[in-house]
Amino acid sequence: MSAIPPDHPGVGELLAVLAYGEISAFYRLADDARMARTLEGKVALAAMASAEMRHFEVLESALVARGFDVYEAMDPFVRPLDDYHASTHPATWLEALVKAHVGDGLAADFYREIAHRLPAEVAEIVEEVLATTGHSEFVVHEVRAAVSASTRDKDRLMLWGRRLLGEAITQAQLVMSRRDALTDLVLGAAGDLNGLAELVGGMQAKHGERMATLGLV
């Protein structure tokens, strides 16, 4: 049983940061689809964007049910998440695919690990909105084919993956430093600072696994 109560003030902040993450992902993926080289690529990213919108609606309902104004709750997270996306704006179709697969996976890994220590009703919501958007097979095939054909593309995308990791950790630290309730929730879920360090280490390990799956090792 979780030691964190369902009415912990950090729960609303967690749902809010996830909600803004989902709605910003929707717009980003829809925009990135314009770089697709094929109709299949456009449809794949459009499907991903659609899934992100459905996830946002789940979080919106959860926030409203808890008495939050959705837009007020999300507002503190707009700037740091927008800054992350601005600093990691893909310049090419391949960069967009790697960000969709690897970059978005970083946040999902972190929140999924936190969810295991949260009250059941909160954990279920987090797990639902972090469910796969069904794009992995397309992205892996597209990126692996490209990097197998071009050492130059491979080298660039390996650097891009490392940049995504660094920027994601930096922005997560920034958000945590500004939101006391969310920080308390995360530390409570992790157990202590050592537990939090283990979570971050786990994120880095899974990041490496995703990069390897894409052929970027």
Q: What is the pLDDT of residues 139-179, one digit of tens each?
A: 899 999 999 999 999 999 999 999 999 988 888 888 877 78
Kindly state the average pLDDT of the residues 105-116: 81
Share of the chain above pLDDT 70, in %: 97
Contacts of 25 (CB under 8 A, 6+ apart): 49, 52, 104
Residue 16 above 90 pLDDT? yes
One-letter amino acid for residue 59 of the chain: L
Q: Is residue 47 pLDDT above 90, yes or no?
A: no
Which of 2-6, 162-166, 180-184 is most confident?
A: 162-166
DSSP string over 157-216: HHHHHHHHHHHHHHHHHHHHHH-HHHHHHHHHHH-SHHHHHHHHHHHHHHHHHHHHHTT-
Question: Could you tell me if residue 52 is inside a domain?
Answer: yes
CATH number at residue 52: 1.20.1260.10
Confidence category of residue 65, pLDDT binned at 50, 70, 90: very high
Q: Is residue 97 part of a domain?
A: yes
Residue 1, in any domain of the structure = no
What mean pLDDT comes out for the span 114-118?
82
Residue 68 has pLDDT above 70, yes or no: yes
161 neighbors 72 (Cβ within 8 angstroms): no
Full domain range(s) for residue 18: 9-213
pTM score:
0.89
Res 80 pLDDT > 80: yes
Closest Cα to residue 111, out of 32, 216, 177, 206? Answer: 206
Dihedral sign for Cα 76, 206, 116, 97, please: positive
Inside any domain, residue 3: no
Q: Which of 41-55, 162-176, 191-205 has the lowest mean pLDDT?
A: 191-205
What are the φ/ψ torsions at residue 215 (nearest 5 degrees)?
85, 15
Q: Work out how many domains the chain is built from and give that number.
A: 1
Q: Quick check: is 65 in a domain?
A: yes
Using the predicted structure, report yes or no on whether residue 197 has a pLDDT greater than 80: yes
Domain annotation covers residue 181 = yes
Residue 2 lies in a domain: no
